[in-house]
Structure 1
Amino acid sequence: MPRPAEPGRTALLTAGALVAEDRGLRGLSVNAVVEAAGMAKGTFYHHFPDRRSYVIALHRRYHDALAELITAQITDIPPGAERIRVGVTAYLDACLQTRGTKAFLAQSRTDSDLLDEVYARNREFAGVIEADLTVLGWPDPSAVAHLLVAMVAEIALTELYGEGSRGDLRAAVMDLIDRGGPGTR
């Protein structure tokens, strides 16, 4: 009879977030994770078939937590500029406070195991924003949502590497949002 996935799986993912924060994705070895979790290497392979599936699970866990936090903030706000503003602020603030953000935002873009995951998450977040951009009058809300996600990710990275919130960049992206689509000027 197989053992239940929890709490071992959760302990390994929590340890991986700490290792990723300290050493980045390149330093996220199976040995480092089991050492941080205080578990045997065999336990890792009981929960994950290989490092690749582990890194994907870790990436998904990180972004699921971000999505949950953002959704909680925007749920009662009707589509439009205010909902984008609240969602973007929630995302950027969470990126500054969440373990492993540098690894999962910057390094995941160059990790071939995670490229599909990165693109899927970006499409997911852009899909949420499309309704807001439609309300704002953008003629191609899908394309603008894609660009908005890229801009916000760049702000998050700038804030992370600059070690603090960048009010000027946050204000600039909000100003673009507030201007609405080309047909609304």
Structure 2
Amino acid sequence: MARPAEPGRNALLEAGFDVAVRAGLRGLSVNAVVAAAGMAKGSFYHHFPDRRGYIVALHRRYHEELAVAILAAIGDRPPGRDRLRVGITAYLDACLRTRGTKAFLAQARTDADLLDEVNARSLSFVTLIAPDLAELGWTDAAAVAHLTIAMAADTALAEMYAAAPRPDLRAALTALLERTPG
């Protein structure tokens, strides 16, 4: 069972983000993480039961950072166009500045160990934006929210590869959502 957060656990997680940026999820071995953290291998197993548990913890931390940024940006705005636009912008901006975006947006979707986590995180964002889409008139707001998340993630990846915002993709994404539902 994993232990509560403490300096050693946090150092291992921070090192994991560095390794994920350099080597992706496939290169995220226990040996690479402990070497990057400057810690003994036994320290890893003191905090995490195995590599899978560690990668799940990294994935959760990455998405918690995104959620904090989004929730801070939308604040107490009521559901609707403004909140949706602000939330998407906050998500995309956070992806640009958050380490591990490639590993946790692209690679995590093909890692069998993370499928449950990816689905859980997607569902939490579906729940967050569905009221905005319903306010815009979408009758199946949850389905449109699911597709919106996929479009936003793809935009985030395009921006990551460009190392800059893509105003064209951001504008297209919000324009698609704001069209009168048919």
Partner of 1:63: 63
Once the two structures are TM-superposed, the CA of residue 180 in structure 1 deviates from its matched residue by: 4.2
Aligned identity (percent) is: 66
Once the two structures are TM-superposed, the CA of residue 56 in structure 1 deviates from its matched residue by: 0.2
Once the two structures are superposed, residues 133-174 of structure 1 have per-residue CA deviations (whole angstroms, 9 ceiling, x without a partner) of: 111111110111111111101111111123221111100011
Q: Distance in 1 between matches of 2:75 and 2:41?
A: 41
Number of paired residues? 180
Once the two structures are superposed, residues 68-90 of structure 1 have per-residue CA deviations (whole angstroms, 9 ceiling, x without a partner) of: 11001112211001101001001
Partner of 2:100: 100
Instruction: Say if 1:4 and 1:106 are closer, same or farther in 2 by CA, change over 3 A.
Output: closer
Instruction: Say if 1:85 and 1:4 are closer, same or farther in 2 by CA, change over 3 A.
Output: closer
Q: How does 1:21-170 map to 2 (within 5 A)?
A: 21-170=21-170
Runs of 4+ in 1 over 4 A off after TM superposition: none
RMSD (Å), alpha carbons: 1.2
What secondary structure sits across from 1:106 in the alignment?
helix
Equivalent residues of 1:133, 1:181 under 8 A apart: no
Equivalent residue letter for 1:107: Q
Once the two structures are superposed, residues 120-142 of structure 1 have per-residue CA deviations (whole angstroms, 9 ceiling, x without a partner) of: 11111011111111111111101
**Which TM-score applies when normalising by structure 1?**
0.94
Instruction: Say if 1:4 and 1:118 are closer, same or farther in 2 by CA, change over 3 A.
Output: closer
1:8 aligns with 2:4: no
Task: Give the gaps of 5 or more residues in structure 2.
Answer: none
Instruction: Say if 1:132 and 1:22 are closer, same or farther in 2 by CA, change over 3 A.
Output: same
Task: Give the gaps of 5 or more residues in structure 1.
Answer: none
Equivalent residues of 1:133, 1:180 under 8 A apart: no
Partner of 1:181: 181
Once the two structures are superposed, residues 23-53 of structure 1 have per-residue CA deviations (whole angstroms, 9 ceiling, x without a partner) of: 1101100011011111100000000010000
Q: Distance in 2 between matches of 1:180 and 1:126?
A: 20
Equivalent residue letter for 1:15: A
Instruction: Say if 1:167 and 1:4 are closer, same or farther in 2 by CA, change over 3 A.
Output: closer
**Which TM-score applies when normalising by structure 2?**
0.95
